[in-house]
Structure 1
Amino acid sequence: MDVPLLIARRYFSSKKKRNIISIISNISMIGVAVGTMALIIVLSVFNGLEDLVRTLYGKSDPDLLVTAVEGKSFPVNEKMLDDLRRIRGVGLLTEVIEDNALLQYHDRQMVVKMKGVSENYYTQSNIDSAIVEGDHRLRRGGEPYALLGAGVQHELSIALNNRFAPLHLLYPRNTGKKTLSLNPETAFTEKTITAGGVFLIEQHIDDSYIFVPIEFAEELLHYGDRRTALEVNVGDEHDIQKVKAVIKQHLGSKFKVLDSDEQHVSLLKAIKVEKMFVFITFAFILLIASLNIFFSLSMLVIDKRKDVAILLAMGATPRDIRRIFLLEGAIVALVGAATGLALGITICWLQQTFHIVSMGMATSVVDSYPVKMQFADIVLTGLAIVVITIAVSIRPALNAAKLDVRENL
């Protein structure tokens, strides 16, 4: 029988008349429960946001993206492309030309990110599922069409499939001179294209991107056999990281091969950093809430001085006394933490299942706050509570072990 645990449980569940010690203990449990619940909910929301970012960008992002280490473009040839296609795991290879261009429509204009893609782009991308108006095809009847972000269409009030009012795309000519000619006819290359569809993915993409056939981009930008990127779709039965390593080894040090997370490393890193700071903040809140455990244990030591003296006289060691009060603090924290975890998990489950709390924005791509629970967050929260409980309980426990028997009998 573990006597210190038995005594600690007795102190915790004592049915004596309520006093200030029991009130402070109850406040401690409620504080720990609320802090734990809030921490689980907030961390789960950050997990949901991280998954939402991956889902949104996943509609247009490839499994792997090949870019140059230096410069914004690199030359390609059929041998290079064929060698890449023959690598085990490479399901599809898409050529990309991406650069800024000036978009004019009637008397309005804006700078956009023009992305020229080869014909197989929609085979490896899910962007066709993000089409909200028009057709996703970039070629129809042999004619090129542009696919616009919803923000671009709204900014310029672009009508779709209007051959009498096409889009005008302009790009500076590379004349070799350091100054740009003031004559637009000689300063810019201009091509026209019809708007064929509108997509809605993510605000940053929607407000700046248009997709065009790669031949159109090649002629406008005078890229020739140069490409800004190669997008690789990996077969479902193959491991992306293994395929990435093989491609990287094959291409050498002049190329970067980026997986989905690395393509948006800054955004995902920002979410992780925010999540870390939120965890630290709520851990401090838990520490403040747990200070009540310190006060309740200190008062309990004073209230139970006679009991402690009797136990010491009966042969209990200082270590046993320390354990009694450490276990008392642990029980208070454990009850509060278990209650908080149960409430937090229940609330997150309700949000995941019934989408109770909405984003409150009509333009949001999701109706409710995304939530995703992770076992690691629950473990991390539990460890934080254990550390905090030991930190606030150790001083009262040490004081209890130092009580003089003769003075308190």
Structure 2
Amino acid sequence: MNVPLLIAQRYFRSKNKRNIITIISNISMVGVAVGTAALIIVLSVFNGLEDLVRTLYGKSDPDLVISATKGKAFDVAPAFLLKLEKMPGVALLTEVIEDNALLQYHDRQMVVKMRGLSDNYFGQSPIDENIREGDHRLRRDSLELALVGAGVQHELSITLNNRLTPMRLLYPRNTPGSKTLSLNPDKAFNEQNIIAGGVFLIEQHIDDSYIFVPLTFAQRLLGYGSRRTALYVKVSRSFEVDEVKEQLRHMLGPGFKVQDSDEQHVSLFKAIKIEKLFVFITFTLILLIASLNIFFSLSMLVIDKKKDISVLLAMGANQTTLRRTFLLVGAIVALVGATAGLVVGVALCWLQQRFGFVSMGMATSVVDAYPVKMEAADIVFICLSIILITLAVSIRPALNASNLDVRENL
């Protein structure tokens, strides 16, 4: 028979405890329950936001991106491309040229990110699902077309399929041997016209700054020739992305970077994880403050049970038994509160996932309700935090109980 647990249960359930001790114990349980539920909900929201960001970028991100370790661009010979295309696990290889350019339309202008894409890009990414207006194609027969972000279209009031007033793109001309820009606009900039054929709506950062054009158009405007800023790789379904990534890194060597979708936005995901960590620490401190009531209730319980403790010592109970008894009382209080908080937190997260009661509150939001995602690791860390906090606040009253003088209290 576990004597410390039996006594701890009796003390917890006792109706003869002084009223103030009962009140403080109940406050302790409520505080632990609220803190636990809040931790589960907040961490689940961060998980949901991380998944949402990953989903949004996944609509335009390839499985893998190959880029140069140093410099903006690298040369791609036909033999080099053929070697990559024949590599096991590579289903599709897309050539990319990306750089800043000045976009003019009527009397308005703005600097945009221009991404030149080879014709097979739409086998790489399901961007056609995100076309808000017009057509997803970058070429109709011999006519070259551009896809513009919804923010770019709004900023410049771009009309689709306007052959009379096409978009005008300018890029500084790279004159060999010259380190200065000519004062003559005709000599200082390369200039190309293109018609807007469609508008995409993916993610605000992309929508507000990007336009997609055919690779050949980007080559003419930027003068890149056989150089590319990146190669997009689509991985075959029968292969793991990480497996193909490691093979490409081994084959290409240190002169190239091979990044998966998360690595392409590593700073963004790192910021989300850091925010999640600080929120976890903040709410854990709040939970610690709420758990201080356990310390006070146990301290008062020790004072109230001095005679009982002295009798137990006189009957042969040792100090270890008494310490375990009062530690278990604190553990029971924390366990009841934590269990209630876990049930409430998980239930609220499930209801939000199922019915989406709490909306984002923005008409322009890509989702109607706050995204939430529960992870087992979060619940494990929360439980470990509660255990450590319970030990921290219970150990002092337990030590006081074991150090009572029998002769003074009998």
**Shorter-chain TM band:** over 0.9
How many angstroms does 1:15 deviate by? 2.2
* Kept after mapping to 2: 8 A contact 1:102/1:110: yes
How many angstroms does 1:129 deviate by? 1.1
Equivalent residues in 2 for 1:292-307, closer than 5 Å: 292-307=293-308
Equivalent residues in 2 for 1:140-151, closer than 5 Å: 140-151=140-151
How many angstroms does 1:142 deviate by? 2.1
Equivalent residues in 2 for 1:135-174, closer than 5 Å: 135-174=135-174
- Rounded to whole Å, the distance in 2 between the matches of 1:32 and 1:391 is 14
Residue-by-residue CA offset, 1:53-75 (whole Å, 9 max, x unaligned):
11000011011100001100000
- Rounded to whole Å, the distance in 1 between the matches of 2:271 and 2:280 is 14
SS of 1:164's equivalent in the other structure is coil
- Rounded to whole Å, the distance in 2 between the matches of 1:344 and 1:21 is 27
Equivalent residues in 2 for 1:334-353, closer than 5 Å: 334-353=335-354
- Rounded to whole Å, the distance in 2 between the matches of 1:288 and 1:274 is 21
- Rounded to whole Å, the distance in 1 between the matches of 2:237 and 2:8 is 56
Which stretches in structure 2 are left out of the alignment for 5+ residues?
A: none
- The residue aligned with 1:83 is 83
- Rounded to whole Å, the distance in 1 between the matches of 2:359 and 2:201 is 20
- Rounded to whole Å, the distance in 1 between the matches of 2:130 and 2:18 is 62
Which stretches in structure 1 are left out of the alignment for 5+ residues?
A: none
- The residue aligned with 1:175 is 175
- Rounded to whole Å, the distance in 2 between the matches of 1:75 and 1:141 is 28
1:369 aligns with 2:338: no
| Count of paired positions | 409
SS of 1:356's equivalent in the other structure is coil
SS of 2:270's equivalent in the other structure is helix
**Identity, % of aligned positions:** 72
- The residue aligned with 2:223 is 222
How many angstroms does 1:183 deviate by? 1.6
How many angstroms does 1:16 deviate by? 2.8
- The residue aligned with 2:133 is 133
Q: How much is the aligned-residue C-alpha RMSD, in angstroms?
A: 0.8
Residue-by-residue CA offset, 1:72-117 (whole Å, 9 max, x unaligned):
0000011101101111101110000000000000000000000000
- The residue aligned with 2:402 is 401
- Rounded to whole Å, the distance in 2 between the matches of 1:405 and 1:132 is 81
* Kept after mapping to 2: 8 A contact 1:64/1:244: yes
How many angstroms does 1:18 deviate by? 5.7
- The residue aligned with 2:50 is 50
Residue identity in the other structure for 1:311: L
1:121 aligns with 2:127: no
- Rounded to whole Å, the distance in 1 between the matches of 2:122 and 2:57 is 15
Residue identity in the other structure for 2:322: I
- The residue aligned with 1:95 is 95
* Kept after mapping to 2: 8 A contact 1:97/1:117: yes
Q: Which runs of 4+ in 1 moved over 4 A?
A: none
How many angstroms does 1:277 deviate by? 0.4
How many angstroms does 1:275 deviate by? 0.3
- The residue aligned with 1:278 is 279
- Rounded to whole Å, the distance in 2 between the matches of 1:18 and 1:155 is 70
Equivalent residues in 2 for 1:302-313, closer than 5 Å: 302-313=303-314
- The residue aligned with 2:269 is 268
- Rounded to whole Å, the distance in 2 between the matches of 1:320 and 1:73 is 72
* Kept after mapping to 2: 8 A contact 1:69/1:254: yes
* Kept after mapping to 2: 8 A contact 1:150/1:199: yes
- The residue aligned with 1:110 is 110
* Kept after mapping to 2: 8 A contact 1:58/1:126: no
- The residue aligned with 1:358 is 359
SS of 1:61's equivalent in the other structure is coil
SS of 1:158's equivalent in the other structure is coil
Residue-by-residue CA offset, 1:120-175 (whole Å, 9 max, x unaligned):
10001021111111111111122111001110000001011111111000001001
- Rounded to whole Å, the distance in 2 between the matches of 1:18 and 1:154 is 69
Equivalent residues in 2 for 1:6-45, closer than 5 Å: 6-16=6-16, 19-45=19-45
* Kept after mapping to 2: 8 A contact 1:171/1:221: yes
How many angstroms does 1:17 deviate by? 6.5
- Rounded to whole Å, the distance in 2 between the matches of 1:182 and 1:207 is 30
TM-score w.r.t. length of structure 2: 0.99
Residue identity in the other structure for 2:86: R
Residue identity in the other structure for 2:72: K
- Rounded to whole Å, the distance in 2 between the matches of 1:183 and 1:26 is 81
* Kept after mapping to 2: 8 A contact 1:57/1:202: yes
